[in-house]
């Protein structure tokens, strides 16, 4: 069989990624995360009488706790196969990458296994967060000095401090 | 109304991540890292603040908010301390998230055993 014929055969038998279905799954489960998070915020403000910033903080903590526990129980990875990016992008995906890397190294002990393996996957996120935060932080600082970008609106900061903690 | 927008915005961000993964054959780590950078970039003109005001948890749960709050903490400290505030205030707003992620990951790694 000629090489180009072979390439054609390969092309017809290739499994096409189901882009639309995957996106719909991610949309549904990602949206569900947002909705559940907002319901937790609502409960925190209206049932536990916390202020706006603190109730978001506790919502983030609950989500991280849920992500770690479900990873430990082995449920989050199965859920991730259904939800795809819907399980990866929310903050519980960050908790999942920490916990699964730590669990993987457990056989090597607490210090060399759990502690030093924990940031194997999530370390990249922190490095890029610092790099991009520094880069865009300097850009915004200079733009604020010139007067192009808006200075920090302190009404928003009061809402966001304790608010978007991660 | 905020519940509706939380669903729509949270879903859209995740669907966009899945689209990048399928269309450009990216690994999860590429998507997560670029989302953090996008979140930081959207905070330069304060665009992400508006999204948070609109969608609440739908904008605060995706990892984009991590980049956003890193720039936000940096700008908050830079206002009082000058340029060095970018370095000293960077993790100001994200500490609770990182601390609790490490804490819970460590505890659950001690309790549970790997499944596979």
Mean pLDDT confidence for A24-47: 94
Domain containing B63 equals: 2-111
Q: Count CA within 13 A, CB hemisphere, residue A141.
A: 22
Tens of pLDDT, residues A50-105: 888 888 899 999 999 999 999 999 999 999 999 989 999 999 999 999 999 999 99
Total CB pairs under 8 A between chain A and B: 312
pLDDT at B62: 94
Domain count, chain B: 1
- Structural domain includes residue B76: yes
Q: How far apart are CA B31 and CA B35, in angstroms?
A: 6
pTM of the model: 0.88
Residues of A with CB below 8 A from B53's CB?
A: 156, 159
Q: Which residues of A touch B59 (CB under 8 A)?
A: 34
| B95 interaction partners in chain A (CB closer than 8 Å) | 165
At residue B91, the 3 state secondary structure works out as coil
For A111, counting Cβ atoms within 10 Å of its Cβ (0-12 exposed, 13-18 middle, 19+ buried), the class is exposed
ipTM over 0.90: yes
> DSSP E strands: which ranges in B12-80?
none
Torsion angle of alpha carbons A100, B93, A128, A85, nearest 10°?
50
CB contact under 8 Å between A90 and B61, yes or no, is yes
Check whether A161 has a pLDDT greater than 80.
Answer: no
Q: What pLDDT is attached to residue A165?
A: 43
Question: Would the CA dihedral through A37, A43, A44, A50 be positive or negative?
Answer: positive
Residue owning tokens 């799954």: A25
The predicted-structure confidence for B59-113, as pLDDT tens digits, reads as follows: 999 999 999 999 988 998 998 898 899 999 999 889 999 999 999 999 999 999 9
pLDDT above 90: percentage of residues in chain A: 67
Tokens of A69: 């526990």
Residues of chain B in contact with residue A59, where contact means CB-CB under 8 angstroms, are 57, 60
pLDDT at residue A156 is higher than 70: no
User: How many CB atoms sit inside 10 A of residue A51's CB?
Assistant: 13
B86 and A161 in contact by Cβ < 8 A?
no
Which site among A20, A103, A135, A137 would you substitute to test the B interface, given the most B Cβ atoms closer than 10 Å to its Cβ?
A137
Token pair listed for A152: 């920090």
- The shortest CB-CB distance from A166 to any of B94, B109, B113 is to B94
Contacts of A42 in chain B (CB under 8 A): 3
d(CA A109, CA B73): 36
Domain ranges of chain A: 3-160
Q: What is the pLDDT of residue B86?
A: 92
Residue of A nearest to B109 (CA): A103
Question: Would residue B116 count as lying in a domain?
Answer: no
Decide if pLDDT at A162 tops 50.
Answer: no
The verdict on a CB contact (< 8 Å) between A57 and B19 is no
Q: Looking at the complex, report in whole angstroms how far the Cα of residue A24 sits from the nearest Cα belonging to chain B.
A: 7
Would you place residue A159 in the very low, low, confident or very high pLDDT band (cuts 50, 70, 90)? low
């Amino acid at each position: 069989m000629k090489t180009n014929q072979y390439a054609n055969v390969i092309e017809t038998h290739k499994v096409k990624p189901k882009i639309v279905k995957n996106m719909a799954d991610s949309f549904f489960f990602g949206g569900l995360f947002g909705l559940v998070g907002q319901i937790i915020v609502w409960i925190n403000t209206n049932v536990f009488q916390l202020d706006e910033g603190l109730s978001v903080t506790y919502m983030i903590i609950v989500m991280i706790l849920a992500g770690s526990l479900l990873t430990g129980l082995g449920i989050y990875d199965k859920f991730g196969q259904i939800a795809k990016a819907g399980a990866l992008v929310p903050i519980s995906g960050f908790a999942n990458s920490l916990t699964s890397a730590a669990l993987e190294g457990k056989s090597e002990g607490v210090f060399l296994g759990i502690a030093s393996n924990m940031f194997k996957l999530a370390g990249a996120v922190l490095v890029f967060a610092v790099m991009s935060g520094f880069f865009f932080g300097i850009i915004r600082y200079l733009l604020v000095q010139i007067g192009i970008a808006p200075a920090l609106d302190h009404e928003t900061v009061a809402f966001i401090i304790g608010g978007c903690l991660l | 109304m905020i519940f509706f927008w939380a669903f729509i915005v949270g879903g859209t961000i995740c669907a966009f991540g899945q689209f990048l993964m399928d269309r450009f054959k990216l690994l999860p780590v590429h998507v997560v890292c670029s989302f953090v950078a996008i979140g930081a970039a959207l905070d330069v003109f304060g665009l992400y603040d508006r999204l948070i005001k609109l969608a609440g948890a739908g904008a605060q749960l995706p990892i984009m908010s991590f980049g956003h709050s890193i720039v936000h903490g940096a700008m908050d400290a830079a206002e009082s301390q000058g340029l060095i505030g970018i370095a000293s205030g960077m993790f100001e707003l994200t500490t609770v998230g990182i601390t609790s992620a490490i804490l819970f990951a460590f505890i659950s790694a001690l309790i549970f055993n790997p499944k596979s």
